Structure formats: C-alpha cells, structure tokens
Chains A and B, each alone.
Chain A
Amino acid sequence: MSETGKNGKVIRIEVLRYRPEQDREPFLQSYDVPFTDDMSVLQGLQYIKDRLDGTLSFRWSCRMAICGSCGMMIDGEPCLACKTFLRDFPAGAVRVEALAHFPIERDLVIRMDDFLAKLESIKPWIVPKEERTLAQGEYLQTPAQLDVYEQFSSCINCLLCYAACPQYGLNPDFVGPGIMALLHRYNADSRDGAAAERMEVAGSEAGAFNCTAVGYCSEVCPKHVDPANAVNQNKTRAAGDYFLRLVRPKGGAK
C-alpha cells in the first residue's frame, strides 16, 4: 500500500468516532483517502490509521472474509470492510459506522458479549449421539447427511445478520439469526445428539418466534449462509415440540 493514489483518485471516508474517555456521544469524522481500484474499505481505514490519524480503532485480521472481524455499517448496510471496495462508491464518499444494534466499545469496535453468551448457551459443538472409542474409528457421515447442514457451518460469527435484523434491534433478548443458524448446524448434524437441549433455546421466548421473516439476515451474509431458513425450520420444529410434548412428554419440555 506504499504507492496509493497513483491514479489520482481520492475518496472521502466518513467514520463514526467514539472514544468513551473524551467523547460524550459518537460523531462523524471525515478523512480524504487516496485510493486505487483494488483497495477495500478496510485498506482505506488502514490508510487512515497509518498515515492520517493513529487514534482510529477498528477490528480486522484476515483481510479475506474468513475471520469475520471487520463487520461494519458501510453506507448504512452491514458489510465486511475487507469484502467491500472503495471503487464501488462513485460519488466519492462513503460512510463507515460501527455495526448497528450493538453497544460501541470504541470507534468501529462493538461489544459482542451478548452474542458470545448466547453462543455458549447453544453448545456450539457436536455432542456425540453415541460415544465411540478411538479403536472404533471415525464418526462417519454420508454426503447426503452432510448436505443437510453444510451451508450453516460456513458461519464466521461476523454479526452482519444481527445488524441486519430489525427484530434483534427491537428486542436484544432474541437469540438472533446467527445463533439460530449455528443451532441448526449442530441439530441437523447426523452425528449430534443434543438437539433436544438446543430446542429449549429455539422454542423459548428468546427463540425462533421473535423472527418476522424479514429475510435481510440471509441477504447480508458474506458466506451465503441462510439464517432465515434455519429460523423457519426451527419454528416448525419448535411448534412440533410444543404440541407433541402433550402426547409424548419428553425431550426439551420445561
């Protein structure tokens, strides 16, 4: 990034700043950043931090849409900064803000404690249906069994779907689209045996029924996961559990 601006292009990046020790509330600060067509918004922010204003804070790591660290609102839409390019803002300006619906820790860094607590609550790992010893070998799975959950396993916890979800915005108790996708990823895995426990979350007052099928979560997902679909499937399953527990009182009933 040593030779930026060779093509003479400059973009004005408006960044939402908030430094809790000195700012009473968040405000927008503008920076003029020279750029080339291959530069992402993340690289624009790095230019600001390296050359213009070292006090700017933002999360990033992999630069290639794998780590899920650089989720932010770019011109009002939840995006990964590394996957969004400065050349796509022909008006010569772009606004970058912290992810919607989350408390701001500092500048573009949000607090994700709420999400992490919810993540723990759904046991996001495979709880073997039946324990096998090393001698018994691997837990085998057919391609058809893999297909059932594979897309949901692509979630990188970037939280874009939470910033997109109007229901999470209105009620942060809702476990949210990402958690529902991950919950479904494990429940739909043929090797897993903890679906009943996870359905306590899906069928709870914080669960799937908070969703009003807006579907924006699935649109903004940078990994093509379909959280809206996971929520829908679990509405059906939770409703089934709700009524079937009366005839078959076991599993997930409280």
Chain B
Amino acid sequence: MKAAMKRSNAPIFWGLFGAGGMLAALFGPVLVFITGIAVPLGLILPADAMSWPRMQAFAQHWAGKGFLFAIIALFLWHAAHRICHSLHDLGVHAGAATRLACYGSAALGTLLAAGALWAVGF
C-alpha cells in the first residue's frame, strides 16, 4: 500500500477528459446534426452553410479558431482517456505502451489541429 501512496498524475488527464466530456455532451449531438444531417440534406440550414468561403472565414476568426481547437483537442483527450480505461476493463492494462498509444494520439491530434488552424491564417 505504501508504494501506491505516490501522488497520482491522473488529474491532468481526468481534467482533459472531463472538459472534453462536457463539450461532447453540449456540442456533440448538434454538430452531428449540422454536419452530418442538416447541411448535406438541406434541412433547416441553407445548403451553403458549410461552404468553403464560410468555413474558411470561420476558421480564420479568432473565436472560430478557438472553438474548433477546443472541440477537436478536448474531444480527442476525452476519447483517449475513455479508450484507455475501457481497454483496462477488457484486460489490457494501462502500461506505457497503451498510455502512449491513447494519450499520444490525442497529443498528436492536438498538435495537428493547432498546426492546421495556424496554417489557415488569420
């Protein structure tokens, strides 16, 4: 027991997981509806709602950039944490490799998103 009394670093990952979960619950369903149903089928929203110029302008505005970054990065960290724990439940215990695969892909996705948002300009 004594050996396990080291302070856990889980709050970092749990915090990202929690923030991502909150955003996923608030925005996930409506994003699926807008990007997957409403726009492609021309329901409710105008057909050009997600046209290239509009989306480019959205990604170039600081608020749009921030929204896209938070949605992409935190969704990824949420998923990584969930997958890591589900693997543990299935008997694949979180060793260095599992953690690297899960949180590493979230970190990579975060960097890619940041890079892409930077590249799209202001």
Q: A238 to B13, alpha carbons, bound, how many Å?
A: 13
Return A169 CB to nearest CB of chain B, in Å: 10
Chain A residue at minimal CB-CB distance from B81: A212
The yes or no answer to B8 lying at the interface (CB within 8 A) is: yes
Q: A254 to B4, alpha carbons, bound, how many Å?
A: 13
Q: Mark B90-110, 1 if CB is under 8 A from A, else 0.
A: 000100000000000000000
Chain A residue contacts of B15, Cβ below 8 A? 239, 243
Q: Is the CB of B4 within 8 A of A206?
A: yes
Q: Is the CB of A118 within 8 A of B1?
A: yes
Chain A residue contacts of B89, Cβ below 8 A? 166, 170, 212
Chain B residue contacts of A201, Cβ below 8 A? 5
Q: A206 to B6, alpha carbons, bound, how many Å?
A: 8
Given A235-B14, A239-B14, A239-B15; A212-B85 close (CB under 8 Å): yes
Return A124 CB to nearest CB of chain B, in Å: 15
Q: A254 to B14, alpha carbons, bound, how many Å?
A: 20
The yes or no answer to A242 lying at the interface (CB within 8 A) is: yes
Q: Is the CB of B7 within 8 A of A206?
A: no
The yes or no answer to A173 lying at the interface (CB within 8 A) is: yes
Chain A: interface secondary structure? helix
Return B74 CB to nearest CB of chain A, in Å: 16
Q: Is the CB of B6 within 8 A of A239?
A: no
Q: A118 to B4, alpha carbons, bound, how many Å?
A: 11
Q: Is the CB of A170 within 8 A of B93?
A: yes
Return A179 CB to nearest CB of chain B, in Å: 11
Interface residues on B, range: 10 to 19
Q: Is the CB of A203 within 8 A of B7?
A: yes
Q: A253 to B7, alpha carbons, bound, how many Å?
A: 8
Q: Is the CB of B8 within 8 A of A209?
A: yes
The yes or no answer to B88 lying at the interface (CB within 8 A) is: yes
Given A170-B89, A170-B93, A212-B89; A239-B4 close (CB under 8 Å): no
The yes or no answer to A227 lying at the interface (CB within 8 A) is: no
The yes or no answer to B25 lying at the interface (CB within 8 A) is: no
The yes or no answer to A117 lying at the interface (CB within 8 A) is: yes
Q: A173 to B4, alpha carbons, bound, how many Å?
A: 7
Q: A235 to B12, alpha carbons, bound, how many Å?
A: 12
Q: A70 to B85, alpha carbons, bound, how many Å?
A: 32
The yes or no answer to B10 lying at the interface (CB within 8 A) is: yes
Q: A243 to B93, alpha carbons, bound, how many Å?
A: 27
Q: Is the CB of A238 within 8 A of B11?
A: yes
Return B100 CB to nearest CB of chain A, in Å: 18
Considering the complex of A and B, which 4 residue pairs feature the smallest CB-CB distances, nearest first?
Answer: A209-B10, A206-B4, A242-B11, A239-B11
19 extra A-B contacts, CB within 8 A, seeds A204-B6, A205-B5: A166-B89, A200-B5, A203-B7, A204-B7, A204-B8, A205-B7, A205-B8, A207-B8, A212-B88, A238-B11, A239-B11, A239-B14, A239-B15, A242-B7, A243-B11, A243-B15, A254-B5, A254-B6, A254-B7
Q: Interface on A for B, CB 8 Å cutoff? A: 117-118, 121, 166, 170, 173, 200-201, 203-207, 209, 212, 235, 238-239, 242-243, 253-254
